[in-house]
Amino acid sequence: MTASAFTVLIPARMASTRLPDKPLADLEGLPMVVRVAQRALLSRAQRAVVAADDVRIVQACQAHGIEAVLTRTDHASGSDRLAETCEILGLDGDDIVVNVQGDEPLLDPQMIESVAQLLTERPDCSMSTVAHALDNLAEFTNPNVVKVVLDRQNTALYFSRAPIAWWRDGFAQAKPELPHPAPLRHVGLYGYRAGFLRQFPLLEVAPLERTESLEQLRAMWHGHRIAVHISDHAPGPGVDTPEDLERVRAWLRQSM
């Protein structure tokens, strides 16, 4: 399978407490979810499909030439929504799917390609994802920044909101320092095989998943391996709050 043989799926739901109707937020004349799909199509994806929970999202996508499907409104997570989308699209079990979040309008298309390519190269893994080196101690200790540790083959050993790997001697100093080599921040961009993605919602929720509030730990708890691409840069900023939205709007104005 070549790196070009993959589909991007973009889960999008209207319910957002911090930014209501987030998928349709205007970004310099286009709904945010349309901007995300357009970025995804700059990769070598065969197609980019928005998986929506509201007909208004589907209509907005179609108005701008973006493929979209309407999914159920009661899904517990984006993974569940994508599992339904695989069924709707009739994807084969070995087809590669890349999950791009609907609030990442500045995501690097090359990062999407790297995740897809990695999964084609790692038949021993059910998933692939991305990480990059941290250079900021505050981010390393921030529980909202997810960290990952890897084995020799860059397969995930564990994901955590805690600062891992813990540098015992470095943090015993009066002025704590980052470990060496640099710790890795996990980026929430995932590659899956469609067959595994359809299976994932049926797996028992893992105790570690509940503790850390990290869905990928369910896959690992059930024995599935996750390959990790190390990026040399962080992704563009996502949109969670009105302040984030204004920052992305300003970036787009400067780049257009």
Q: What is the pLDDT of residues 177-200, one digit of tens each?
A: 888 899 999 999 999 999 999 999
Residue 28 lies in a domain: yes
Residue 188 lies in a domain: yes
- The CATH number given to whatever domain includes residue 151 is 3.90.550.10
Residue 256 lies in a domain: no
| Model pLDDT, residue 141 | 93
* Digit-coded pLDDT (tens) for 7-44: 999 999 987 777 889 999 999 999 999 999 999 999 99
Cα separation, 131 vs 204, in Å, equals: 26
Three-state SS string across 155-205, please?
EEEEEECCCCCCCHHHHCCCCCCCCCCCCEEEEEEEEEEHHHHHHHHHCCC
Cα separation, 17 vs 188, in Å, equals: 20
Residue 209 lies in a domain: yes
Between the alpha carbon of residue 46 and those of residues 43, 63, 115, 154, the distances in Å are 9, 20, 15, 27
Model pTM score: 0.92
| Model pLDDT, residue 107 | 94
Number of domains present in the structure of the chain: 1
Whether the pLDDT of residue 82 is over 50: the answer is: yes
Residue 48 lies in a domain: yes
Angle at which helix 32-40 crosses helix 109-121, to 10 degrees, equals: 50
* Digit-coded pLDDT (tens) for 152-177: 999 999 999 999 999 888 888 878 88
Residue 1 lies in a domain: no
Mean pLDDT taken over the chain: 93
Residue 236 lies in a domain: yes
* Domain containing residue 118: 6-251
| Model pLDDT, residue 4 | 54
Mean pLDDT computed over 203-218: 96
Residue 141 lies in a domain: yes
* Digit-coded pLDDT (tens) for 59-74: 999 999 999 999 998 8
